[in-house]
Structure 1
Amino acid sequence: MTNFISIFPLGIVVYPGEQLNLHIFEPRYKQLITSCLAENKSFGIPTVIDSKIMEYGTTVHIKKVEKMYPNGEMDIITVGENVFRILEQVKQIPDKLYGGAIVNYPNNEDLPNTRLQREVLQGVRELHTILQIHKTFKKEDNQLSAYDLAHHAGLSLNEEYELLQLLYEAQRLEYLKRHLYKVIPMMAEMERLKERVRLNGHFKNLTAGDI
Protein backbone atom coordinates (compact mmCIF):
# COMPACT_ATOMS: atom_id res chain seq x y z
CA MET A 1 0.00 0.00 0.00
CA THR A 2 1.28 3.46 -0.96
CA ASN A 3 -0.21 6.80 0.03
CA PHE A 4 0.58 10.44 0.78
CA ILE A 5 0.84 11.63 4.38
CA SER A 6 1.68 14.86 6.16
CA ILE A 7 4.91 14.58 8.13
CA PHE A 8 6.22 16.04 11.38
CA PRO A 9 9.96 15.18 11.46
CA LEU A 10 11.41 14.83 14.97
CA GLY A 11 14.69 13.73 16.49
CA ILE A 12 13.08 10.72 18.14
CA VAL A 13 11.91 7.22 17.22
CA VAL A 14 8.23 6.44 17.71
CA TYR A 15 7.13 2.79 17.80
CA PRO A 16 3.72 1.33 16.97
CA GLY A 17 1.50 1.33 20.04
CA GLU A 18 3.60 3.93 21.85
CA GLN A 19 1.94 6.95 23.46
CA LEU A 20 3.71 10.19 22.63
CA ASN A 21 2.81 13.51 24.24
CA LEU A 22 3.67 16.58 22.17
CA HIS A 23 3.60 20.32 22.78
CA ILE A 24 2.80 21.97 19.46
CA PHE A 25 4.08 25.53 19.11
CA GLU A 26 5.51 26.10 15.59
CA PRO A 27 2.99 27.71 13.19
CA ARG A 28 3.46 25.01 10.51
CA TYR A 29 2.77 22.20 12.96
CA LYS A 30 -0.12 24.01 14.60
CA GLN A 31 -1.59 24.10 11.10
CA LEU A 32 -0.77 20.41 10.52
CA ILE A 33 -2.43 19.28 13.76
CA THR A 34 -5.47 21.50 13.17
CA SER A 35 -5.87 19.96 9.71
CA CYS A 36 -5.47 16.39 11.03
CA LEU A 37 -8.08 17.03 13.72
CA ALA A 38 -10.55 18.53 11.23
CA GLU A 39 -10.14 15.63 8.77
CA ASN A 40 -9.63 12.89 11.39
CA LYS A 41 -6.32 11.95 9.75
CA SER A 42 -3.08 10.52 11.04
CA PHE A 43 0.33 12.04 10.32
CA GLY A 44 3.82 10.63 10.07
CA ILE A 45 6.81 11.16 12.35
CA PRO A 46 10.00 10.29 10.46
CA THR A 47 13.14 10.18 12.58
CA VAL A 48 15.69 12.99 12.20
CA ILE A 49 19.34 12.03 12.81
CA ASP A 50 22.21 14.49 12.32
CA SER A 51 19.79 17.04 10.84
CA LYS A 52 18.68 14.57 8.16
CA ILE A 53 15.18 13.15 7.74
CA MET A 54 15.60 9.40 7.68
CA GLU A 55 13.81 6.92 5.45
CA TYR A 56 11.68 5.23 8.14
CA GLY A 57 9.15 6.56 10.59
CA THR A 58 5.81 5.79 12.21
CA THR A 59 2.34 7.15 11.61
CA VAL A 60 0.50 8.41 14.68
CA HIS A 61 -3.10 9.34 15.36
CA ILE A 62 -4.20 12.07 17.72
CA LYS A 63 -5.85 10.45 20.71
CA LYS A 64 -6.66 13.62 22.62
CA VAL A 65 -6.04 17.35 22.72
CA GLU A 66 -4.97 17.76 26.32
CA LYS A 67 -4.80 21.57 26.35
CA MET A 68 -5.36 24.50 24.00
CA TYR A 69 -3.52 27.77 24.62
CA PRO A 70 -4.79 31.26 23.67
CA ASN A 71 -1.96 31.66 21.13
CA GLY A 72 -2.94 28.45 19.29
CA GLU A 73 -0.30 26.25 20.88
CA MET A 74 -1.56 22.90 22.14
CA ASP A 75 -0.64 19.81 24.11
CA ILE A 76 -1.70 16.63 22.34
CA ILE A 77 -1.58 12.92 23.11
CA THR A 78 -0.77 10.70 20.13
CA VAL A 79 -0.42 6.95 19.65
CA GLY A 80 1.89 5.21 17.20
CA GLU A 81 0.29 3.16 14.42
CA ASN A 82 2.33 1.76 11.52
CA VAL A 83 5.95 1.82 10.40
CA PHE A 84 6.35 3.54 7.03
CA ARG A 85 9.16 4.01 4.52
CA ILE A 86 9.50 7.30 2.61
CA LEU A 87 9.58 6.89 -1.15
CA GLU A 88 9.50 10.59 -1.99
CA GLN A 89 9.50 13.65 0.22
CA VAL A 90 7.60 16.87 -0.49
CA LYS A 91 9.19 19.72 1.44
CA GLN A 92 6.06 21.85 1.42
CA ILE A 93 2.54 20.83 0.48
CA PRO A 94 0.85 23.44 -1.78
CA ASP A 95 -1.07 26.04 0.27
CA LYS A 96 0.31 24.54 3.49
CA LEU A 97 3.18 25.46 5.78
CA TYR A 98 4.24 21.85 6.39
CA GLY A 99 5.62 19.03 4.30
CA GLY A 100 4.56 15.55 3.37
CA ALA A 101 5.77 12.33 1.82
CA ILE A 102 4.73 9.48 -0.43
CA VAL A 103 5.20 6.37 1.70
CA ASN A 104 4.59 2.67 1.74
CA TYR A 105 4.05 0.34 4.68
CA PRO A 106 6.37 -2.70 4.84
CA ASN A 107 4.89 -5.94 6.11
CA ASN A 108 5.56 -6.01 9.83
CA GLU A 109 5.62 -9.46 11.44
CA ASP A 110 4.59 -9.33 15.11
CA LEU A 111 4.34 -13.04 15.99
CA PRO A 112 5.49 -13.41 19.63
CA ASN A 113 8.58 -15.33 20.70
CA THR A 114 8.01 -16.22 24.35
CA ARG A 115 11.54 -17.37 25.15
CA LEU A 116 13.25 -14.31 23.68
CA GLN A 117 10.67 -11.98 25.19
CA ARG A 118 11.32 -13.37 28.70
CA GLU A 119 15.09 -13.04 28.26
CA VAL A 120 14.81 -9.43 27.08
CA LEU A 121 12.40 -8.46 29.87
CA GLN A 122 14.72 -10.03 32.44
CA GLY A 123 17.65 -8.11 30.94
CA VAL A 124 15.76 -4.80 31.02
CA ARG A 125 14.89 -5.32 34.68
CA GLU A 126 18.47 -6.28 35.51
CA LEU A 127 19.69 -3.09 33.83
CA HIS A 128 17.17 -1.00 35.76
CA THR A 129 18.28 -2.63 39.04
CA ILE A 130 21.92 -1.74 38.32
CA LEU A 131 20.93 1.84 37.50
CA GLN A 132 18.58 2.01 40.51
CA ILE A 133 15.65 2.85 38.25
CA HIS A 134 12.13 1.69 38.99
CA LYS A 135 9.79 1.44 36.02
CA THR A 136 6.41 -0.20 35.63
CA PHE A 137 4.72 -1.16 32.38
CA LYS A 138 1.06 -0.68 31.52
CA LYS A 139 0.76 -4.23 30.19
CA GLU A 140 1.14 -7.65 31.73
CA ASP A 141 4.63 -9.11 31.34
CA ASN A 142 3.58 -11.69 28.76
CA GLN A 143 1.98 -9.00 26.59
CA LEU A 144 5.06 -6.78 26.31
CA SER A 145 6.56 -6.56 22.82
CA ALA A 146 9.97 -5.41 21.61
CA TYR A 147 8.38 -2.05 20.84
CA ASP A 148 7.18 -1.75 24.46
CA LEU A 149 10.65 -2.53 25.82
CA ALA A 150 12.91 -0.71 23.35
CA HIS A 151 12.84 2.73 24.97
CA HIS A 152 13.68 1.14 28.34
CA ALA A 153 16.77 -0.77 27.23
CA GLY A 154 19.26 2.10 27.08
CA LEU A 155 19.49 2.29 23.29
CA SER A 156 20.97 5.32 21.56
CA LEU A 157 18.88 7.19 18.98
CA ASN A 158 20.74 5.43 16.16
CA GLU A 159 20.11 2.04 17.78
CA GLU A 160 16.42 2.82 18.29
CA TYR A 161 16.23 3.71 14.60
CA GLU A 162 17.98 0.46 13.62
CA LEU A 163 15.37 -1.46 15.59
CA LEU A 164 12.57 0.48 13.84
CA GLN A 165 13.79 -0.94 10.53
CA LEU A 166 13.55 -4.56 11.75
CA LEU A 167 10.24 -5.95 10.51
CA TYR A 168 10.06 -9.23 12.44
CA GLU A 169 9.37 -9.42 16.19
CA ALA A 170 12.00 -12.14 16.66
CA GLN A 171 14.61 -9.88 15.00
CA ARG A 172 13.69 -6.98 17.26
CA LEU A 173 13.87 -9.08 20.40
CA GLU A 174 17.20 -10.60 19.34
CA TYR A 175 18.56 -7.08 18.72
CA LEU A 176 17.54 -6.01 22.24
CA LYS A 177 18.96 -9.20 23.75
CA ARG A 178 22.37 -8.64 22.13
CA HIS A 179 22.39 -5.01 23.23
CA LEU A 180 21.55 -5.90 26.84
CA TYR A 181 24.13 -8.69 27.00
CA LYS A 182 26.71 -6.13 25.91
CA VAL A 183 25.68 -3.19 28.07
CA ILE A 184 24.77 -4.90 31.38
CA PRO A 185 28.33 -6.06 32.23
CA MET A 186 29.64 -2.58 31.33
CA MET A 187 27.11 -0.84 33.57
CA ALA A 188 27.73 -3.30 36.41
CA GLU A 189 31.46 -2.56 36.22
CA MET A 190 30.77 1.19 36.24
CA GLU A 191 28.67 0.80 39.39
CA ARG A 192 31.51 -1.17 41.04
CA LEU A 193 33.94 1.57 40.02
CA LYS A 194 31.68 4.24 41.52
CA GLU A 195 31.56 2.25 44.75
CA ARG A 196 35.36 2.01 44.86
CA VAL A 197 35.63 5.76 44.32
CA ARG A 198 33.13 6.41 47.12
CA LEU A 199 35.12 4.20 49.51
CA ASN A 200 38.45 5.83 48.68
CA GLY A 201 39.75 7.65 51.76
CA HIS A 202 37.43 5.85 54.19
CA PHE A 203 38.71 3.65 57.01
CA LYS A 204 38.60 0.02 55.96
CA ASN A 205 38.71 -3.27 57.85
CA LEU A 206 41.37 -5.17 55.94
CA THR A 207 42.93 -8.56 56.41
CA ALA A 208 46.04 -10.10 54.91
CA GLY A 209 44.24 -13.42 54.60
CA ASP A 210 45.75 -16.75 55.43
CA ILE A 211 49.49 -16.21 55.01
Structure 2
Amino acid sequence: MSKIVPLFPLPLVVYPSAKYMLHIFEERYKKMIAFVRTLDQEFGIIPVKDSEPARIGSLVKVIRIVKTNEDGSFDIMIEGTRRFVLRSILQHEDGYFMGEADGYEDIGSAAFTDLEDEARHKFEEIVKKAEIKLEDEFWDNLNSAKLKSYKLAEKSGLTLKQQQDLLILQSEGERLFFLIEHLDYINGFLDNREVVRQIVLNDGYINKDTFKQDREEEE
Protein backbone atom coordinates (compact mmCIF):
# COMPACT_ATOMS: atom_id res chain seq x y z
CA MET A 1 0.00 0.00 0.00
CA SER A 2 1.35 3.42 -0.97
CA LYS A 3 2.26 6.05 1.60
CA ILE A 4 3.43 9.64 1.34
CA VAL A 5 6.84 10.23 2.91
CA PRO A 6 9.25 13.19 3.08
CA LEU A 7 12.27 12.70 0.82
CA PHE A 8 15.92 13.59 1.26
CA PRO A 9 17.82 13.21 -2.07
CA LEU A 10 21.48 12.44 -1.34
CA PRO A 11 24.48 10.75 -3.00
CA LEU A 12 24.06 8.01 -0.41
CA VAL A 13 22.66 4.48 -0.24
CA VAL A 14 21.38 3.36 3.15
CA TYR A 15 20.85 -0.35 3.68
CA PRO A 16 18.35 -1.75 6.19
CA SER A 17 19.84 -1.58 9.73
CA ALA A 18 22.77 0.60 8.56
CA LYS A 19 23.47 3.72 10.64
CA TYR A 20 24.78 7.03 9.33
CA MET A 21 25.38 10.53 10.59
CA LEU A 22 23.79 13.36 8.59
CA HIS A 23 24.62 17.06 8.87
CA ILE A 24 21.45 19.12 8.48
CA PHE A 25 21.97 22.77 7.55
CA GLU A 26 19.39 23.76 4.91
CA GLU A 27 16.26 25.36 6.36
CA ARG A 28 13.92 23.13 4.37
CA TYR A 29 15.52 19.97 5.74
CA LYS A 30 15.59 21.37 9.28
CA LYS A 31 11.81 21.71 8.93
CA MET A 32 11.53 18.23 7.46
CA ILE A 33 13.44 16.64 10.34
CA ALA A 34 11.34 18.58 12.87
CA PHE A 35 8.21 17.29 11.12
CA VAL A 36 9.20 13.61 11.14
CA ARG A 37 10.43 13.77 14.74
CA THR A 38 7.17 15.33 15.91
CA LEU A 39 5.17 12.51 14.32
CA ASP A 40 7.78 9.81 15.01
CA GLN A 41 7.74 9.13 11.27
CA GLU A 42 10.27 7.74 8.81
CA PHE A 43 11.59 9.66 5.83
CA GLY A 44 13.03 8.42 2.57
CA ILE A 45 16.58 8.73 1.29
CA ILE A 46 16.74 8.62 -2.48
CA PRO A 47 20.22 8.11 -3.96
CA VAL A 48 21.08 10.80 -6.50
CA LYS A 49 23.76 10.57 -9.17
CA ASP A 50 24.34 13.24 -11.82
CA SER A 51 21.21 15.06 -10.55
CA GLU A 52 19.04 12.01 -11.32
CA PRO A 53 17.11 10.48 -8.40
CA ALA A 54 16.85 6.71 -8.23
CA ARG A 55 13.49 4.93 -8.11
CA ILE A 56 14.52 2.58 -5.31
CA GLY A 57 15.37 4.17 -1.98
CA SER A 58 15.43 3.45 1.74
CA LEU A 59 13.19 4.53 4.56
CA VAL A 60 15.14 5.69 7.60
CA LYS A 61 14.32 6.77 11.13
CA VAL A 62 16.00 9.43 13.24
CA ILE A 63 17.62 7.75 16.22
CA ARG A 64 18.78 10.92 17.94
CA ILE A 65 20.11 14.44 17.55
CA VAL A 66 23.84 14.06 18.05
CA LYS A 67 24.94 17.69 18.07
CA THR A 68 23.41 21.14 17.68
CA ASN A 69 25.71 23.86 16.34
CA GLU A 70 25.79 27.61 16.98
CA ASP A 71 24.85 28.37 13.36
CA GLY A 72 21.59 26.43 13.76
CA SER A 73 22.75 23.35 11.88
CA PHE A 74 22.72 19.98 13.61
CA ASP A 75 23.88 16.40 13.23
CA ILE A 76 21.52 13.45 13.43
CA MET A 77 22.01 9.70 13.58
CA ILE A 78 19.73 7.75 11.27
CA GLU A 79 19.09 4.04 10.77
CA GLY A 80 17.79 2.33 7.64
CA THR A 81 14.57 0.37 8.11
CA ARG A 82 13.34 -0.90 4.73
CA ARG A 83 13.38 -0.26 1.00
CA PHE A 84 10.74 1.43 -1.12
CA VAL A 85 9.98 2.15 -4.76
CA LEU A 86 9.18 5.76 -5.60
CA ARG A 87 6.01 6.25 -7.65
CA SER A 88 5.80 10.05 -7.80
CA ILE A 89 7.35 13.22 -6.34
CA LEU A 90 5.79 16.50 -5.26
CA GLN A 91 7.16 19.53 -3.44
CA HIS A 92 6.06 20.44 0.07
CA GLU A 93 5.26 24.08 0.84
CA ASP A 94 8.34 24.19 3.09
CA GLY A 95 10.59 23.42 0.13
CA TYR A 96 11.51 19.77 0.63
CA PHE A 97 10.14 16.93 -1.47
CA MET A 98 7.47 14.37 -0.69
CA GLY A 99 7.06 11.08 -2.46
CA GLU A 100 4.47 8.38 -3.00
CA ALA A 101 6.25 5.22 -1.90
CA ASP A 102 5.40 1.53 -2.14
CA GLY A 103 7.14 -1.23 -0.23
CA TYR A 104 9.94 -3.04 -2.06
CA GLU A 105 10.56 -6.49 -0.63
CA ASP A 106 12.62 -9.55 -1.47
CA ILE A 107 11.00 -12.23 -3.60
CA GLY A 108 11.14 -15.52 -1.69
CA SER A 109 12.78 -16.27 1.64
CA ALA A 110 15.19 -19.12 0.92
CA ALA A 111 18.32 -19.53 3.04
CA PHE A 112 21.70 -19.13 1.35
CA THR A 113 24.04 -20.47 4.01
CA ASP A 114 26.75 -21.62 1.58
CA LEU A 115 26.85 -18.23 -0.17
CA GLU A 116 26.88 -16.45 3.20
CA ASP A 117 29.87 -18.51 4.30
CA GLU A 118 31.70 -17.94 1.01
CA ALA A 119 31.11 -14.17 1.01
CA ARG A 120 32.17 -13.84 4.63
CA HIS A 121 35.30 -15.94 4.09
CA LYS A 122 36.38 -13.80 1.13
CA PHE A 123 35.65 -10.61 3.06
CA GLU A 124 37.63 -11.77 6.11
CA GLU A 125 40.52 -12.85 3.89
CA ILE A 126 40.78 -9.37 2.35
CA VAL A 127 40.47 -7.62 5.70
CA LYS A 128 43.27 -9.81 7.08
CA LYS A 129 45.57 -9.32 4.08
CA ALA A 130 45.04 -5.57 4.08
CA GLU A 131 45.56 -5.42 7.86
CA ILE A 132 42.29 -3.55 8.34
CA LYS A 133 41.00 -3.31 11.89
CA LEU A 134 37.21 -3.31 12.08
CA GLU A 135 35.43 -2.56 15.33
CA ASP A 136 33.94 -5.38 17.39
CA GLU A 137 30.53 -3.76 16.90
CA PHE A 138 30.73 -4.46 13.16
CA TRP A 139 31.39 -8.17 13.70
CA ASP A 140 28.66 -8.40 16.34
CA ASN A 141 26.18 -6.77 13.98
CA LEU A 142 27.26 -9.04 11.13
CA ASN A 143 26.79 -12.14 13.28
CA SER A 144 23.30 -11.09 14.36
CA ALA A 145 22.16 -9.76 10.96
CA LYS A 146 19.39 -11.73 9.29
CA LEU A 147 20.47 -10.46 5.86
CA LYS A 148 24.25 -10.51 5.97
CA SER A 149 24.71 -9.12 2.46
CA TYR A 150 23.73 -5.62 3.59
CA LYS A 151 26.16 -5.63 6.51
CA LEU A 152 29.05 -6.91 4.37
CA ALA A 153 28.24 -4.35 1.68
CA GLU A 154 28.68 -1.50 4.16
CA LYS A 155 32.42 -2.24 4.40
CA SER A 156 33.14 -3.64 0.95
CA GLY A 157 33.91 -0.31 -0.71
CA LEU A 158 31.25 -0.45 -3.39
CA THR A 159 30.87 2.60 -5.60
CA LEU A 160 27.61 4.53 -5.36
CA LYS A 161 26.34 2.81 -8.51
CA GLN A 162 27.29 -0.62 -7.15
CA GLN A 163 25.60 0.17 -3.83
CA GLN A 164 22.42 1.11 -5.68
CA ASP A 165 22.63 -1.97 -7.91
CA LEU A 166 22.83 -4.14 -4.80
CA LEU A 167 19.93 -2.27 -3.15
CA ILE A 168 17.72 -3.06 -6.15
CA LEU A 169 18.32 -6.82 -6.02
CA GLN A 170 15.35 -8.70 -4.56
CA SER A 171 17.08 -11.86 -3.38
CA GLU A 172 19.66 -12.41 -0.64
CA GLY A 173 21.29 -14.98 -2.89
CA GLU A 174 21.70 -12.45 -5.70
CA ARG A 175 23.18 -9.89 -3.32
CA LEU A 176 25.66 -12.39 -1.89
CA PHE A 177 26.71 -13.52 -5.37
CA PHE A 178 27.16 -9.85 -6.36
CA LEU A 179 29.47 -9.33 -3.37
CA ILE A 180 31.42 -12.54 -4.01
CA GLU A 181 32.25 -11.38 -7.55
CA HIS A 182 33.25 -7.94 -6.24
CA LEU A 183 35.48 -9.40 -3.51
CA ASP A 184 37.08 -11.86 -5.95
CA TYR A 185 38.05 -8.94 -8.17
CA ILE A 186 39.60 -7.02 -5.28
CA ASN A 187 41.42 -10.07 -3.93
CA GLY A 188 43.38 -10.37 -7.16
CA PHE A 189 45.19 -7.11 -6.40
CA LEU A 190 46.07 -7.60 -2.76
CA ASP A 191 49.65 -8.70 -3.46
CA ASN A 192 50.32 -5.14 -4.61
CA ARG A 193 51.79 -3.39 -1.57
CA GLU A 194 50.85 0.07 -2.82
CA VAL A 195 47.24 -1.00 -3.26
CA VAL A 196 47.17 -2.42 0.27
CA ARG A 197 48.64 0.85 1.56
CA GLN A 198 45.92 2.84 -0.19
CA ILE A 199 43.26 0.62 1.33
CA VAL A 200 44.63 1.13 4.82
CA LEU A 201 44.88 4.90 4.30
CA ASN A 202 41.29 4.92 3.09
CA ASP A 203 40.03 4.55 6.68
CA GLY A 204 39.80 0.80 6.34
CA TYR A 205 37.23 0.85 3.55
CA ILE A 206 37.90 -1.50 0.66
CA ASN A 207 37.15 0.47 -2.49
CA LYS A 208 37.12 -1.00 -5.98
CA ASP A 209 38.17 2.38 -7.43
CA THR A 210 41.54 1.86 -5.73
CA PHE A 211 42.26 -0.90 -8.24
CA LYS A 212 40.93 0.78 -11.38
CA GLN A 213 44.23 2.28 -12.49
CA ASP A 214 46.10 -1.00 -11.95
CA ARG A 215 43.61 -2.86 -14.10
CA GLU A 216 43.74 -0.26 -16.88
CA GLU A 217 47.55 -0.49 -16.93
CA GLU A 218 47.37 -4.28 -17.22
CA GLU A 219 44.96 -4.05 -20.14
TM-score (norm 1): 0.83
Task: List aligned pairs for 1:105-124, cutoff 5 A.
Answer: 105-108=103-106, 111-124=110-123
AA in 2 matched with 1:132? E
Give 3-state SS (helix, strand or coil) of 1:34's partner: helix
TM-score (norm 2): 0.80
Alignment RMSD (CA, Å): 2.1
* Rounded Cα–Cα distance in structure 2 between residues aligned with 1:193 and 1:32: 42
**For residue 28 of structure 2, what is the aligned residue in structure 1?**
28
Give 3-state SS (helix, strand or coil) of 1:78's partner: strand
Question: Residue deviations 1:85-116, cap 9 Å, x none?
Answer: 111111x21x2220111111122256542221
Stretches of structure 1 that go unaligned for 5 or more consecutive residues are 196-211
Report the CA distance between 1:177 and its aligned residue: 0.8
AA in 2 matched with 1:58? S
Identity, in percent, stands at 29
Task: List aligned pairs for 1:27-176, cutoff 5 A.
Answer: 27-90=27-90, 92-93=91-92, 95-108=93-106, 111-136=110-135, 137-139=138-140, 142-144=143-145, 145-176=148-179
- Structure whose CA Rg is larger: 1
Question: Residue deviations 1:169-195, cap 9 Å, x none?
Answer: 11111110111112211x224338889
Task: List aligned pairs for 1:188-203, cutoff 5 A.
Answer: 188-191=190-193
Question: Is the 1:15–1:80 Cα contact (8 Å) retained in structure 2?
Answer: yes
Question: Aligned match of 2:183 in 177, 180, 184?
Answer: 180
Residues 193 and 96 of structure 1, relative CA distance in 2, 3 Å threshold: closer
Stretches of structure 2 that go unaligned for 5 or more consecutive residues are 198-219
Larger helix proportion of the pair? 2
